[in-house]
A and B are shown apart, each in its own frame.
Chain A
Amino acid sequence: MRSATIPTGMWKLLIACVLTAAATAGAAPATSVDDCNAALPDCVVVGKWNFSLALGAGVRTNPLVHGQDLPLLVVPQFSYYGKRFYIDNLDAGFTALENGKNTLSLIASPGYDRIFFYRSDLQNIFVNIAAATVGTNPNPVPFPSRSRPITYLAGPEWTFNDHGIIGQLDVLREVTGHNHGEEVRTAVQFPVRISADAFSATIGLTWQSAAIVNYYYGAPRVYESGSALRPFLKLGYTRPLGRGWRFEVITQYEHLASAIADSPIVAHNYVVTSFLGFVNAF
């Protein structure tokens, strides 16, 4: 487990499979016109930017020693969908194959954990643009200070939607040359709809290779760890209010594996994210 990695050959094979699927699909659009229309909330207009703004109160805890929690007051989100290419906040993707239930894409997504080290990380800006004071994180143990540049991970993504149950599996590799690590993100969301109100429960699991774990939480000869598993549970509630507004409550608990929690710079083995507020899509 300590040296577990995704073989490079397997990762490249997955990429090749996705590209082959795209080539097989040819020039046809990713989605047939028949299974998507304006009445379906799961559908978006091709070629149009989408923006939303959430106003409310929330927090994301910071597991680092003396790490300050991140207040969630204003949450902007944006996306753009072309025929195949899309931008989803800081993620970008190319949809190779899509039908009513399954989607196969190649995606690029930023490394997540940097948000705990840099208040100015774009992933924090797009979660909260309100002014907030976040101090430095003085380390209680001798731990070499070093920068952790922005990383991007890329790889295939498979998602499915069957009877409202939504699943996601990403097999990613760091491609910006900072740690060469791998990450697998997976989650399944179960919806419960009562009239207009919608509840959802999501369970997920993130696996990070030792290279990524040590990039953020390790230091040579001070703390070197193996790969890490990070399961999470998320509960959500949404109530449409009309005129593009909706009321939303989200809470997520993510457990950090000992490979992360045992690091001298980590104080808590969990991350809790909660938000309650109003969202407007325009």
Chain B
Amino acid sequence: MRFSLGSRAGRCTAILVAAVLTGGIGEPGSGIQLELRPRVCTLAANESQCSTTVHANWHSPREESLCLVILGRSDVKRCWEHYSQGTYSIELVFSDDLLFELKDSRLDTVLASEALRIIREAIRYRHRRRDPWNIFQ
């Protein structure tokens, strides 16, 4: 009997945990997917900034009211009211990683986030030619 009760309690616990992890209990903001394109910007050795058009795409299993913001960039903000998906394209110039966040309409809670990363090509150095025969060296 005790074995039977324990087995049932364990099964319930497992179902509850799975529901929370998968967002199956249907709370607002759960199950939202945010995708960025591109996800990486590669800088050549002689470049200091990325300049590109970023496409952000989100979708949710249910209608949401939320805003897309970029951490540290208060000038970028796009909001949706009662939508289950949205897209936003913006031209950006940046020199450090950018963190895109989907927040609730009061901007209190982060519902999903995705980073746009910068990869810098390794700068290689070599010796300058030594040319004392030249008048200006």
Query: A: which residues have CB within 8 A of B?
Result: 29-31, 33, 36-38, 40, 42-48, 54, 75, 77, 79, 81, 83, 86, 88-89, 91, 93, 95, 98, 103, 105, 127, 159-161, 166-168, 170, 185-189, 202, 204, 206, 234, 250, 252, 273, 275
Q: A37-B125, A83-B126, A98-B126 are in contact. Are A202 and B132 (CB under 8 A)?
A: yes
Q: Is the CB of A45 within 8 A of B136?
A: no
Query: In the bound complex, how far is the Cα of B131 from the Cα of A36, in angstroms?
Result: 18
Instruction: Indicate if B130 sits at the interface (CB-CB under 8 A).
Output: yes
Chain B residue nearest in CB terms to A49: B46
Q: A159-B130, A168-B130, A168-B131 are in contact. Are A44 and B136 (CB under 8 A)?
A: no
Residues of A within 8 A of B46 (CB): 45, 47-48
Query: In the bound complex, how far is the Cα of B135 from the Cα of A263, in angstroms?
Result: 25
Query: In the bound complex, how far is the Cα of B130 from the Cα of A251, in angstroms?
Result: 18
B interface size (C-beta, 8 A): 17
B56 to chain A, nearest CB (A): 33
The residue that B135 contacts in the complex, of A83, A93, A252, with Cβ under 8 A, is: A252
Query: In the bound complex, how far is the Cα of B127 from the Cα of A1, in angstroms?
Result: 37
Q: Is the CB of B129 within 8 A of A45?
A: no
9 nearest A-B residue pairs (beta carbon): A189-B132, A31-B126, A36-B125, A187-B132, A46-B124, A187-B133, A159-B130, A43-B125, A166-B130
Q: Is the CB of B124 within 8 A of A29?
A: yes
